[in-house]
Structure 1
Amino acid sequence: MAYHIFIVEDDPNIRDIVSAYLKKEGYIVSLVDNAEEAWQQTRLNQPDMWILDIMLPGMDGYELCKKIRDESDVPIIIISAKDEEVDKILGLELGSDDYLTKPFSPRELLARVKRLFKRVEAIEVKSTPRDNIYQVDTLILKPDDRRVFFDDDEIEVTSKEYDLLFHLIQSQNRAFSREELLTLIWGDDYFGSDRAVDDLVKRLRKKMEGVPIETVWGYGYRLRTEAEGGT
């Protein structure tokens, strides 16, 4: 099945050139010139990847990136004329997976797209279960279909939220550093803040009040079997 990539770029020349390169590689491409329209079009059907310009009319790319990341772990590449380090760090901390400064080579963008999809595929393979079920108290993971249950309710989680739970529940009571979790979930070439891990934990705690993910202060997290809930 071909991957679907959604491009949000208000420069028609860049939009058309990038689209042509991606389509030539077999990707399905959707094009819009503003964030509001892109957000509305994808409410019911998220693409497999986003390529976002920052300087857009109306809602900017940073805001759209945050909205996407609040609901999904789909890969995001930001393209921008802003080349300051602070802009790159902001984009990555808001949840983007890569940042490319204009002007750029379409071939370089294509290489980064392929790399991100390979990372996604590798994580999915790595997370393939050996057992049919994992359970800690009322937290249950069914890896065969990547489903999560808590207090007898099925919980909707994103791909990276699931991956975090999966790694923690496989090694119950073991403390994982934030850096280790970044590598396990995002890959060893991820460039960004370890706040991404804190954000995943925050989202999981909001969805499952009392989930036994414990903060190891100044280090990372673990899933405890002896205590009721996390701190």
Structure 2
Amino acid sequence: MKRATILIADDESEIADLIAIHLEKEGYRTVIVADGAAAIRTVQTQEIDLAILDIMMPKLDGHEVTRQIREKHVMPIIFLSAKTSDLDKITGLVIGADDYMTKPFNPMELVARVNAQLRRSLSLSQPAHTSASVVEAGGLVVDPDNRSVLLYGHDVELTPKEFDILYLLASHPNKVFSAENIFQQVWGESYYGGGNTVMVHIRTLRKKLGETHHPIIKTVWGVGYKFNG
């Protein structure tokens, strides 16, 4: 069985080496780079299964690296940063990261999060016995196999988490989902105050979908959100 390859992008060599030691003990192959430009080159030239990115890096910061990765790749991304505010975490998740850990950190917890993200990534990539259904409503077409969204014939570029939220809601058009339920199903983790994260993702989804008088995602006050296609 092929060993998963983890990209570690951090200009603090001691931290990068510590992460690599723990991941390699777990059986992973690691690639270490010290700046954002090198991280992009590595993703373009090697098969990377998961990326761990520091936010404050030379040449390109973690946010820009994530934006560029997300243009062509759906690999899990974990941010590792000294920034600890909720706004920093939400910004990272909205940009396209799958998880966010703050420094200082427990290396074993990071390994556990890597394991969890790769398990989820593997399960999503496995072919199902039957293809998931394309959702069509009004001018909206959501295709889970190609992970594409069309609105009146125009492509709508979504981050992986934005797509997952939209498909979850759109495939259950009469069901109201609480923020807790959306977080648990999309992030695959126990809810630990992720309501703000869900709210911000819903807000950016609405902006990208260009909603006006007929919101595609409707807020059910005091309960959650539902698809209103």
- TM-score, with structure 2 as normaliser: 0.71
The answer for the alignment partner of 1:93 in structure 2 is 90
The answer for the alignment partner of 1:37 in structure 2 is 37
Range with bigger deviation, 140-149 or 117-126: 117-126
Superposed displacement of residue 71, structure 1 = 7.2
Superposed displacement of residue 48, structure 1 = 4.1
The answer for the alignment partner of 2:146 in structure 1 is 145
1:43-82 pair list within 5 angstroms: 47-53=48-54, 64-65=62-63, 68=66, 72=70, 74-78=76-80, 80=82
Q: Which amino acid aligns with 1:78?
A: L
Contact 1:15/1:31 (CA < 8 Å) preserved in 2?
yes
State the distance in 1 between where 2:124 and 2:103 align. 27
State the distance in 1 between where 2:117 and 2:25 align. 18
State the distance in 2 between where 1:196 and 1:26 align. 32
Please state whether the residue corresponding to 1:176 is helix, strand or coil: coil
The answer for the alignment partner of 2:220 in structure 1 is 216
**1:168 and 2:166 aligned:** no
Query: Aligned-pair RMSD on alpha carbons?
Result: 3.7
Please state whether the residue corresponding to 1:173 is helix, strand or coil: coil
State the distance in 1 between where 2:56 and 2:145 align. 42
Superposed displacement of residue 30, structure 1 = 3.0
State the distance in 2 between where 1:75 and 1:142 align. 23
Q: Which amino acid aligns with 2:115?
A: K
The answer for the alignment partner of 2:197 in structure 1 is 196
Range with bigger deviation, 187-196 or 39-48: 39-48
Q: Per-residue CA shift, 1:125-179, capped at 9, x if unaligned?
A: 6998655422111111223333222102233333222211211112103221111
Q: Which amino acid aligns with 2:37?
A: E
Unaligned runs of 5+ in 2: none
Range with bigger deviation, 50-59 or 207-216: 50-59
Q: Which amino acid aligns with 2:159?
A: T
State the distance in 2 between where 1:108 and 1:185 align. 21
Contact 2:180/2:194 (CA < 8 Å) preserved in 1?
no
Please state whether the residue corresponding to 2:169 is helix, strand or coil: helix
State the distance in 2 between where 1:88 and 1:126 align. 38
State the distance in 1 between where 2:142 and 2:5 align. 28
State the distance in 1 between where 2:197 and 2:125 align. 19
State the distance in 2 between where 1:57 and 1:142 align. 37
Q: Per-residue CA shift, 1:102-127, capped at 9, x if unaligned?
A: 3644x443233112222333456699
The answer for the alignment partner of 1:183 in structure 2 is 184
Superposed displacement of residue 184, structure 1 = 1.0
Q: Which amino acid aligns with 2:80?
A: I
Q: Which amino acid aligns with 2:186?
A: I
State the distance in 1 between where 2:12 and 2:197 align. 30
Q: Which amino acid aligns with 1:22?
A: L
**Residue 169 to residue 223, structure 1, CA distance change in 2 (3 Å):** same
**Residue 129 to residue 30, structure 1, CA distance change in 2 (3 Å):** same
User: Percent identity at matched positions?
Assistant: 29
State the distance in 2 between where 1:68 and 1:185 align. 19
Superposed displacement of residue 75, structure 1 = 2.9
